[in-house]
Amino acid sequence: MQIVLRPNKSIRESRANLTSHSGIACLGLPVRIHQDVRVPENPAENRLAKVMRRQPVQQRGAATVSAIVDACATLLNDYDYDDITTARIVELAGVPIGSFYQYFPDKRSVVHALALRGMEEYLGRVESLFTEGRLAEDWREAVQQVVAVYLRMLVEIPGFGRVRFSDLLDGHRLDASVDQYELMAERLRDLFLTRFAVRGDAPVMLTFRMAAQTADAMFKLAERVDPDERPVVLRTADGVILKMLSGVFDPS
C-alpha cells in the first residue's frame, strides 16, 4: 500500500508571522545576518551555520526553514530515518523542492538542525526553572526536575526522542569539532553553580559531562526495553546521576 502524504500548508503558514527585533529567528536561535555574513552568538549557532547550506535573510525564509524541520520531526515519529526522503519532507512542509535545497544540502542536514533545535528547546526549559523561581532548594530535587523536563519533551515534542544531541540516526555527528556532551554539560554546570555551592572534590566539568553522557545512554536503553522494564531503567539512571553529582555538591 502506498502512503500519500498531503502537503500541510499550516506547517509553513504557522511560521510565517515570526518577528524578531534583533534579527532573524531561525529554529529558536537568534540569527543576525548581513547577506551571507553571520555573527554567531553561541556554539549552537555556529553549528547551525555549518549544517545548513545558507541561512535565511528574511522572516519568510525563517518560516520556510522551520516548516522543513517541523515536517522532518513529524515524519521521524512515523517512519524510520532511511524511509524519509527530501520529497516527503517538502510535501508535508508545503514548500517547493527548490526552497529545500536553498537552505539544506540533504535530509541529514535537516536532522542535524532538528537535533540542535531540540537541544536549545531543552536548555531553554531548564533555564526557565532557574529563572522563574520553580527550582527546588535541594540540589538532588533540582537534578530530578531537570531530568523530568527531558522526559516530558520525549512525549510532547515530535521527533525529539528520535534525534539525540550526541549523534544522528545514520551515525554522523552534528559537528565533529564540538563535543555535544561537553556543550550540554557546560550549560548545565553553569546553571547549577549559580544556585548550589561546590562542596565536594570531584572535578566539576568532568562530572557533569559524565552525567550527561550517562543519562543519554540510559534514556536510549529505556526506549528499547519492554514497557514494564522502563521504570527500572529510569530509576537506575536517576540513582547513577545523583551518585555522580554528589561528588560535586556533597561534602567530601
Cβ neighbours of residue 15 under 8 Å, at least 6 residues apart?
62, 63, 64, 66, 67, 70
Beta-bridge partners for 33: 38
Confidence at 167, pLDDT banded by 50, 70, 90: very low
Cβ atoms of 219 and 161 within 8 Å: the answer is: no
Q: Using CA atoms, how far apart are residues 154 and 215, in angstroms rounded to an integer?
A: 14
pLDDT digits over 101-112, tens only?
999 999 988 988
Q: Closest by alpha carbon to 185, among 150, 212, 145, 217?
A: 212
Q: Where does a domain end: 67, 82, 108?
A: 108
* Domain shared by 212 and 158, yes or no: yes
Whether pLDDT at 33 is above 50: no
Q: Which of 111-120, 164-173, 228-237 has the lowest mean pLDDT?
A: 164-173
Write down the pLDDT at residue 171: 47
> Does a structural domain hold residue 3?
no
pLDDT digits over 191-231, tens only?
999 999 999 999 999 999 999 989 988 988 888 899 999 99
Q: Where does a domain end: 108, 137, 169?
A: 108
Cβ neighbours of residue 50 under 8 Å, at least 6 residues apart?
175
Greater confidence (29 vs 58) lies with: 58
Write down the pLDDT at residue 29: 54
Write down the pLDDT at residue 203: 97
Cell of 138: 535541594
Q: Where does a domain end: 108, 123, 152?
A: 108
* Domain shared by 122 and 102, yes or no: no
Confidence at 34, pLDDT banded by 50, 70, 90: very low
Whether pLDDT at 237 is above 90: yes
Cβ atoms of 116 and 157 within 8 Å: the answer is: no
Cβ atoms of 245 and 143 within 8 Å: the answer is: yes
* Domain shared by 139 and 214, yes or no: yes
* E strand intervals along the chain: 24-26, 29-31, 33-34, 37-38
Whether pLDDT at 173 is above 90: no
Write down the pLDDT at residue 168: 45
SS3 175: coil
Name residue 67's amino acid: A
Whether pLDDT at 250 is above 80: yes
Whether pLDDT at 76 is above 60: yes
Q: Which range marks the domain in which residue 209 is found?
A: 114-249
